[in-house]
Amino acid sequence: MCGLTGVIAPHPIADLAAAIAAMNRTQHHRGPDQDGLFVDPSGKAALGHKRLSILDLSHGRQPMSDAEGILTLVFNGEIYNHNELKAELIAKGHPIKTRSDTETLVYAYKEWGAECLPKLRGMFAFAVYDKRDGSIFLARDRLGIKPMYYGRHDGALAFASECKAILAYPGFPRELDLQALSDYFSLMYVPAPKSIYKAIRKLPAGHWLKAVPGGEPVIRAWWDLNFAEAPEYRGEADLKRAQEELLACLEESVKSHMEADVPLGAFLSGGVDSAAVVALMARNSQRPILTNTIGFSHKAFDESAYAAETAAALKTQHRDFRVEPDAIASMETLSWHYDEPFADSSMIPTHYVCQMARQQVTVALSGDGGDENFAGYRRYLFDRFENRVRGLVPSALRRPVFGALGAVYPKADWLPQVFRAKTTFQNLARSPMAGYFTSLTHVHPAMKAALFSGDLKRSLGGYDSLSVFQEHWDRCKSDDSLSRVQYLDFKTYLVDDILVKVDRASMAHSLEVRVPVLDHKVVELAARMPSNYKLHGGASKYVFKEALRPILPAGIFNRRKSGFSIPIEHGLRGEMKEFARAHLFDAGGAASLGLFEPAGLKRLWDEHQSGLRNHAFPLFSLLSFSLWHARFMGAEIALPSSLPTTAAAATIAQGNP
């Protein structure tokens, strides 16, 4: 796991070596083991790399060139099938001498060009500079596990693993992308290909980019997820076989993800996903697996006791940390690492569990991806119910009837979602796609209208963040309603929320996190299975759980699903109150930026503090935005040495050493 950066331009760049070194320094946390720079003699291209050494520790230094010095590569990630590719490339005459997957990747690109991408199994983002024409080739893995940003300024194309490295390029503009801002308040994150900066874009997952100096970049998709059901899964009769095939595929994926020349462990919560990964690791290890979990004093958010039960059953070497998070210190630190506004509060516990795991291991396996693959989120059940109701009522009647009911029904945020009939009625009045989008929206359109300033609304010109989903909805090749919303989540929530969160939290502590449940073979197998294998009656993740039943403790399947989060609602009324109030209302805070209506912001604050409403999501989104704005807009990019340390950001009690 590493950080990469680079620049190409149609003209020599003054002080290019100093520029690429400054860009590289901003990503020191991503790779503290080695620092590498390449500057082309023409002065028109440069690459930088920060290495976290995982495989072949003595070799693999980057940037790395082929034997002739024609191609130079920087790479972030892991190629799990590099040994098989290496044998094939050596047979074709390529002089691969090391065990490094980086060297194999250099020659894979040299042999096959962009066609090497479908051959790669892993998580990756890489850049290849070709000195013959000065071109750059950028690529990102199928699911977007590893990040890649790029932007253009003064004829130059700059790219990096994180936005802050691009912002360190001299004179790079920092104008706000107002559509991205609107998207952020709807979703809590900025969806690709946008970034919060108008001049910086994200390379979408499963895409490559090629550019020659001064030319317009060409971007192409090289992979997409197909939910077309396979004919071998015809119903209940084939369900048992599907379970057996899934377990075999999962085990093979976990085994391939365990290759490392450094200490390796896993995250373990109280749920099925991480337990599955750990159980399969244990089946393929000669020694007990090192597992880590964290617990909180707030019982509704604490799964540490369940994790300990699972660890005992699987005979892991388990460490349980008690964390009383100093959310203020966390937020200030995380605003640096996320580069963009990001308001998924689970970034805070994720930050801590990565911090704790890094004390033992350099690589940790995670269970992320199980909910997206196998329909584990409760919202999938609600969406299925809404679609069944839509099917019973003619479309000409749905909007007036359910729209009227939604308008008059009282709002009841304090009730469980199943009892929030106002939201349900409003969703039923919408199309299936719009209803699903609304179910994920944290600052709904009416609240945006009251919160956004008049100038901001005029600048947006009627822009609707629903268009983010429309593009993916139209591209999905399935007519099945569950498959469509799963596809949406793969293209939006998974890649731009979950995977961003894990990448930034782990890289903040120079920890590599691998996600074997998101191996493309597992993902493609799951996508081919019928929806009723996933949502089976009222049971979610059915085929996944049944496949794992023989290897996991029985009690784990009966636990209520709990999100990995912290009580932000109470924190904004308690320990975070004064910190949040200052960043929202003091000079330089959100209310003073001209983007928001101060009266609308104050109304949200007052209603939340009084307990009249729970506005935790919009207020936390505003706080995250304000912290990001203060750190990145208009100020010089601070080097990592100026960051607050995280060691004092938690009170830790270590158990089960």
Residues with catalytic function = 2
Helices 239-256 and 520-528: crossing angle, nearest 10°? Answer: 170
> Would you say the C-alpha torsion 617, 620, 621, 622 has a positive or negative sign?
positive
Of 432, 422, 434, nearest in space to 385 by CA: 432
3-class DSSP string for 640-655: HHHCCCCCCCEEEEEE
Q: For strand 2-8 and strand 45-51, is the pairing parallel, antiparallel, or unpaired?
A: antiparallel
SS3 state of residue 425: helix
Angle at the Cα of 413 from the Cα atoms of 412 and 419, rounded to 5 degrees: 60
What the block records as the tokens of 545 is: 């759980």
Distance of alpha carbon 357 from alpha carbon 290, whole angstroms: 9
H helix runs in 476-615, sequence order? 481-489, 499-507, 520-528, 531-534, 542-548, 568-571, 577-585, 598-610
| DSSP conformational letter for 260 | -
**Cα 30 from Cα 337, distance rounded (Å):** 10
Q: How many helices (H) and strands (E) does the chain have?
A: 27, 18
Q: How far apart are CA 485 and CA 410, in angstroms?
A: 28
Phi-psi region of 154 (alpha: psi -120 to 50; beta: other; left: phi over 0): left
Residue by residue, DSSP assigns 502-519 as HHHHHHTTT-EEE-GGG-
Per the CB < 8 A criterion, the answer to whether 124 and 515 are in contact is no
Using CA atoms, how far residue 563 sits from 117, 270, 271, 330, 344, in Å, is 34, 10, 10, 19, 11
DSSP assignment of 169-186: STT----B-HHHHHHHHH
Nearest to 626 by CA among 570, 597, 585: 585
Q: Name the maximum alpha-carbon separation found in the chain.
A: 73
Distance of CA 56 to the CA centre of its chain: 27
